[in-house]
Amino acid sequence: MDQSDKASVFRELHQPGNPFIMANAHDVGSAKVLAAMGAHAIGTTSAGFAFTVGEPDGAIVTRDAMLDHCEDLARAIDIGVSGDLENGYADDPAGVAECIELAAEVGLVGCSIEDSSFDPAKPAYDFDVAVERIRVAVEAAEDLPFEFTLCARADGVMIGAYDVEEAIARCQAFEEVGAHVVYAPVLPTIEDVARLCSSVSIPVNVLCAGAMTKYSRDDFAKAGVARISVGSALASVTHKAILDIGQAMLDEGDFTGLARGASGRRINELLKDGSAKP
């Protein structure tokens, strides 16, 4: 499929009450494997990508480095890729709009833009500034020659900058300026997720990580969710294996954990099946 077709399919996947799983890949290999296993779309993960380049979560990976990474994933597989583009790598709305344009150029079919400012003194943009940034981002997305899906993130609950009520109010404002999807990571309860879903008329993304992992796809469907992402959770599980098996190996000379690895032949098959077809 070309980018336009991938974008149309991606947009159509967003059905409130019938959520699809947007698997988040941290590198080309994980993207290919997930695609071969039946993923309908791939999301990038800023934290997962940071881990792959030896940086901690929250490190400032440059816009160019992230876009290069996104381009690698988008070219490697035949399904749509949506980018985790943090705050658009800019404080000013014009800079966010430029990031949207560049995201489209590297082959993405959508992206998320958050309201985190990365300023320790004021971790989230003021309400009006956050809304204006999304308004301009939507304008840039709508000017593209295909259906680029913009997800507007209200990150304040996750980073401790504001409460659930504020997150819902921001998502409602993001909808008013044209966002295609809204997302408030780490809401405290599934009841809060359902409240957000009922407060807007556009698709809602939920992050299935931490406490939310006890719920199933059916639970999220009942709450009205349209898209389930996992953020850096798969990347973290990978590193948990390194921590547990590596520690036993290095401290005790215990190599038994290595026997739990996936078959090299199976991985090779999935990498081949998940590759973009010429």
**CATH code of the domain containing 48:** 3.20.20.60
Residue 99 confidence (pLDDT): 98
Strands 41-44 and 116-119, by their bridges, are unpaired
Question: Is residue 278 situated within a structural domain?
Answer: no
Question: Is residue 254 situated within a structural domain?
Answer: yes
Question: Is residue 218 situated within a structural domain?
Answer: yes
Q: Which residues of the chain have pLDDT under 70?
A: 59-60
Residue 133 tokens, joined: 């940034």
Residue 17 confidence (pLDDT): 98
pLDDT in tens, 121-161: 999 999 999 999 999 999 999 999 999 999 999 999 999 99
Closest CA to 159 of 72, 11, 58: 58
Strands 181-183 and 20-25, by their bridges, are unpaired
Question: Is residue 142 situated within a structural domain?
Answer: yes
* Domains of the chain: total: 1
Domain holding 31, by residue range, is 3-273
Closest CA to 66 of 50, 81, 55: 50
Question: Is residue 143 situated within a structural domain?
Answer: yes
